[in-house]
Every structure is written in structure tokens, then in C-alpha cells.
Amino acid sequence: MRDGGRISAAIEILADLETRRRPVQDALKDWGLTHRFAGSRDRSAIGNLVYDVLRRRASLGAIMGNDDPRALVFAAYALQWGKGLDGLAAAADPADRHAPAPPTPAEAAALTAATLPDDADIATRADLPGWLVPSLARVFGDRLETEGRALAARADVDLRANTLKADRDAVLADLAGAGAIAATWSPVGVRVPVGPGDEKAPHLVSELSFKRGWFEVQDEGSQLAALVAAEALGPAAAGSVVIDLCAGGGGKSLALAAALGDAGRILAYDNDKRRFGDILDRIARSGASGIEVLDPGRGDPLAPLAGSADLVVVDAPCTGTGTWRRRPDAKWRLAPGALEMRREQQRGVLGAAAQLVRPGGTICYITCSVLPEENEDQVAAFLAARRDFRLEDTAAALGRVAARPLPETTRVPLGAGTAARLTPHATGTDGFFIARLRRAD
């Protein structure tokens, strides 16, 4: 396909999203099934264009004075992809029957000016849902626009070297051809930078080193969260009992197993077995022998574990606001009701974790959210209700596991302890919140 056809496809997919209000992955998949002539490079370019529009939908619409799919795609192609008005006009070639109609004079003028209106509000400038600005301003203050723009950027591909089978240097050497570099903060992290425009990201899961279990795809922030959790066990890691309470596909369980040298017993649980996905295949590939998956469909597998866990990892259900770089459609689909539902689920899972952890044990509460309602507020409410728990200096723990000193903005003072916050702007990771809660002996 030529670029004109790709632009038309992106417009069609975005129109479908507006009409049917569904996840972008579903719309992209359906388009691919009904347009089988499109090759993998075409589908990748179209997906990139759609995602880039969704990342900056508010500011692109303001620049164009129009937020219909055609205007947004034109702006993304000309401005974000650096093609300019001339490049767009060339792509919209009337001789190409798959291309869109050429830019109108009004569209051409908007793209030539390429500026936001003087009265654009902070939500537009930072590409944020307006209803969330007060919450995010609580967290970021005068950094709100900068942090919002970082949340609207493309994310690189992050990998975790599985130290049960290979060290980071071996993974770096194996993936040198893909441009792999050492991650900044995680001592086991590897990053593969993602290029601009229609550049296709490497398909790393087809590498033999992946199939051999040398690495897993995992955001660097998630890696750090797992290392902070594992560090709570200290020298008592061997023989410890760890419950991964919201295990999902097992990313944290696998990272914990590697961090503990496969010395602990890790029990992976999720109340919806559909979220496990390919967890058993991942465990087998990793070489971890200490992970056991608990079946939620067989009675209550957690009941016999009450008061026995040295560490309970709560990778809590959340709005996922910290992952907007990777899931930009979620930014615009999120509604106040969904936030309140997640907060209720978080309260429930924290209560369950408190029943499972032994005296002297630790809960590590983790979200991939940057909203205070899901983070500081939840921890403060939990501590107020459970006087037998205290918040540790989580930021100091993060500093101990990181490969180098972290920015001061990662430190979140909260009562007598600290939590830790990672963000795309501050640390180049997804947004994460981490709080270690120690139960009294």
C-alpha cells in the first residue's frame, strides 16, 4: 500500500471507534481481517498512525479546529510524522484511488500554522481528559503539562533479562541487531527503542532467545516494582512464601522468581482464571520451579493460607492511567464510574492481602496508575483502618534496587513512610505507584 491508502485506512478505523466505542485493538483486528491484501508492514504503519492520533487527540483537534477522523489523521501524518503539508498533499494523490481527497484550503492553513489556540486549556495542551485534570494536578502540580505530554508519547519496548537462564549482557548481545540497549534503572532491564512514523517495531517474541526463556517483555517500571517487592524479604528469601494476589498473566510472579533465584515458593492467584492467559507456558519457558498457579475455580485456595505469607504482592486492578503511552484509547474511554469501581476493588484486594500476610510480613501494593485516588488515598485509608500495619520507606527500597540514583520526584512522602512513583517524564517508564506495608510482629 502507498501512504494514501494507509491514511484512508486510519481514518476508517478511527471513524469505527467513534461509532462503536470499542477498544482500538478490536477495530484494528477487524480491519485487518476484512482487508487481507494489506501486508504486515502496512498494518503496522496503519496501527502506528491510529495510535499516534489517539495519543494526542485533544491537541491535534485543537490545532486543526476540527476533531473528525480525517482532520486528526492529517495532523498526525503531517506534524507528528514530520511529513509536512507537502508530504500529505503528495500522499493524497488523486491518481491513487485508495487515497483520501487532498487537503482543503482550511486544512492546509491549519497545518501550515500548526499552533494551538491561545486559549487552549491545560487538558488540551497536555492531551488529558478534562475531568481528570484536578486529580492529576494534585500529583504533578506545575509539572502537569510536561507529564501529560510524556504520557502521550510513544513507548519503547522493554524487556527483562531472565536471570534464571541468562544475564543481561547475553540478552544485549543477542538482540544487538534490534538496537537493544541497557535500561536506565533496572539492573536486569533491556530496552529496544521504537522509531518514529511508520517504522515497524521488531517482533522480539519470534527470537529464539525469547523461546528459550532468556527474556520476557516487561516495562522497566514493572521490573522495578517486582524488585522492590522481593527486596522486602531480605536474607530470608529462601523458603519464603509469596502470594501474587492479582497475578494475571504472571509477569510479576516470573520477575519475583528470578529476583529470588527461584528460592521462594510463589503462589500465583487471580479471581478470574481467564486473566491467566498463557501463564503456564511462560512459567515453563522461564525455568522457574517455585511458581504454583492457584485455581480460583476449585473452592477457596486462599483460605488455608491465611496469616502465612511472608510477602503478598498486590498488583492491584486500576485504571491503567500510567500505561496510556501503550493504550492511548483507554485515556479517552475512562469514565468516573470506572475509577470508582477500581477503587472499590482495590479496597477489597488490600483487605484480602491483610488476611493473608503473617505478622512481620509485608504487603507490596502496586498500581500502574498515576491517580492519587488509587494510590496515596488508598494507602492512607488502609493505614487508618489497620493500625497493625506501617508504611515503610519504599522510596529508599527503590533506590537500593535501582542501578543508579533516581530523580527526587519518585519519592512520595506519606505519613511516617514513603511510597514511590515512576512516570514517563521522570523515569522514562510507564506510570507506577509502589508502597510497602509491613505488618507488626
Q: Which residues are annotated as a binding site for S-adenosyl-L-methionine?
A: 270, 315
Please tell me the distance from the alpha carbon of residue 266 to that of residue 289, in angstroms, as a whole number.
9
127 in Cβ contact with 58 (< 8 Å): yes
Q: Residue 159: enclosing H or E segment and its boundaries?
A: strand 157-161
Helices 40-55 and 24-34 cross at an angle (nearest 10°) of: 150
Cell numbers at 256, concatenated:
519475583
Residue type, 146: T
Residue holding cell 522493554?
A: 158
293 in Cβ contact with 268 (< 8 Å): yes
Please tell me the distance from the alpha carbon of residue 380 to that of residue 360, in angstroms, as a whole number.
20
Please tell me the distance from the alpha carbon of residue 179 to that of residue 162, in angstroms, as a whole number.
19
DSSP string, 97-156: TTSPPPPPHHHHHHHHH----TT--HHHHTT--GGGHHHHHHHHGGGHHHHHHHHTS---
Instruction: Indicate the SS3 state at residue 89.
Output: helix
Please tell me the distance from the alpha carbon of residue 40 to that of residue 22, in angstroms, as a whole number.
23
Strand-pair category, 291-293 with 411-414:
unpaired
77: left (phi over 0), alpha (psi -120 to 50) or beta: alpha
Is 246 among the catalytic positions?
Answer: no
264: left (phi over 0), alpha (psi -120 to 50) or beta: beta
Binding-site residues: 270, 315
Q: What is the CA radius of gyration of the chain?
A: 23
Q: Dihedral sign, CA of 103, 149, 328, 250?
A: positive
Cα-Cα-Cα-Cα torsion 245, 364, 234, 159, nearest 10 degrees, comes to 80
- Active-site residues: which are they? 368
